[in-house]
Amino acid sequence: QVQLEESGGGLVQAGGSLRLSCTASGSIFSIAIMGWYRQAPGKQRELVARMTRDGRVTYADSVMGRFIISRDNAKNTVYLQMNSLKAGDTAVYLCYTDRVATTEGMSDYWGQGTQVTVSS
């Protein structure tokens, strides 16, 4: 059983910064991809950023140059540093792990989500 624990969301003024963290716990051997999606009310879930185990990153165009994803493989933790936040970044941010290898096999997992609200 793998659990994802997210933290770091909250309310911030436009132009401000927040840092999200997500730690995966359980009998984990490795995690291929860790990343973040977000979902705003009435909108589809969209990829924000993701990072492979060997450090390759992908960003949504809308956050390029403002957000930075990083991960600590030893701690099974992924971070999202969000700078120059805009009202349009308001959403629930969900941690995502792809191809998590455990004693029970390989699966994908999602976190519960953390709310990020940017006031204009």
Q: pLDDT (tens digit, 9 = 90+) per residue, 80-109?
A: 999 999 999 999 999 999 999 999 999 999
pLDDT, tens digit (0-9, with 9 covering 90-100), for 25-61 = 999 999 999 999 999 999 999 999 999 999 999 999 9
Contact 93, 116 (CB under 8 A): yes
Query: Cβ contacts of residue 3 below 8 Å, gap of 6+?
Result: 24, 25, 26, 109
Cα–Cα distance, 1 to 7 (Å, whole number): 20
pLDDT of residue 71: 98
pLDDT of residue 15: 98
76 to 28, 60, 95, 117: CA distances (angstroms): 8, 23, 12, 26
Cα–Cα distance, 110 to 91 (Å, whole number): 16
Cα–Cα distance, 55 to 14 (Å, whole number): 29
Backbone Cα Rg of the chain: 14
pLDDT at residue 1 tops 90: no
pLDDT of residue 19: 98
Question: By 3-state DSSP, what share of the chain in percent is helix, strand and coil, each rounded to 5?
Answer: 5, 60, 30
